[in-house]
Amino acid sequence: MTYLADVVALTRKDLRIELRGRDTLPAMLLFVLATLVVFHFALPEQSGSGAAYGLLWVAIVFTALLGLARAWVPEHEHRVLDGLVLAPCDRSAIWVGKALATFAFLVAAQVVALPVFAAFFEPLDATALVGVLLADVGICAVGSLMSAMAAAGRSREVLLPLLVLPLAIPLVVGGVGTAVSADPVRFLLFLALYDGVFAVLSWASFEYVVTE
């Protein structure tokens, strides 16, 4: 129960900081909407739905990257991460709190972006929406860890995409698969497996990322 209480306190802190500063979510929203508008005009009319779904996933991944790039900024101002690391809570709770907050921002951006996508291209069915949510879990789990690693370095803006994008490839494959495949359940299971494996790996390795 104390672990859960720590996670709730840390997530609530991130949501509160975002509500005050509005640094992350508006940028994610603007980015994803602008990207969809550009794609709407860039994609030839005869292009199939497969191309549109592919572009949607490009927009989702890069929107997530935008959120992840900001994720640890409050901890690095005033070096608050040192304070969190010194606290006697399980250090993985810091990662869980950050991943949950990033997930909330990404879902909030998608709540606006997916209807726009449906208006410009075509709507996602229920299976594809579940695919989007599963991919969100994976990208936030892995991305929060990679973002913590990148934030510790000097060139985090360069490092973050280099760390996250290769790991996001399976999520894009799974996400597009759930939307276009005749057997989407296979891709949902693949995404769930990815989430499980990478969430456990990230959870277990976070302590080594934030301590010397």
Partner 1 sequence: MIRGRGLEKRFGRKRVLTGVDVDVPRGGFAMVTGSNGSGKTTLLRLLAGLARPTRGELDVGVDRSRLGYLAHEPLVYRELTAIENLDLFGRLYRVPERRERIGMVLERFSLWDARHDRVSTYSRGMTQRLALCRTLLHDPELIVLDEPYSALDESGATLLDHELEALAAERTLVVSTHDPDRIALLATTTVALG
Q: Kindly list the residues in this chain that would bind partner 1 in the complex (CB under 8 A).
A: 2, 5-6, 9-10, 13, 16-17, 20-21, 74, 77-80, 82-89, 211-212
Nearest distance, CB of residue 172 and partner 1, angstroms? 33
Q: Which two tokens stand for residue 12?
A: 């609530």
**Calpha distance 156→29 (Å, rounded):** 22
Residue number with CB closer to partner 1 (45 or 77): 77
Spatial contact of 61 and 143, defined as CB atoms under 8 Å apart: no
Residue number with CB closer to partner 1 (21 or 48): 21
Nearest distance, CB of residue 162 and partner 1, angstroms? 22
Residue number with CB closer to partner 1 (2 or 46): 2
User: CA angle 160-187-38, nearest 5°?
Assistant: 55
Nearest distance, CB of residue 1 and partner 1, angstroms? 12
Residue number with CB closer to partner 1 (7 or 140): 7
The pair phi, psi for residue 155, each rounded to 5°, is -110, 60
**E strand or H helix that includes residue 64:** helix 49-71
Residues 6+ apart with CB under 8 A from 164: 65, 68, 139, 142, 143, 146, 147
Nearest distance, CB of residue 167 and partner 1, angstroms? 28
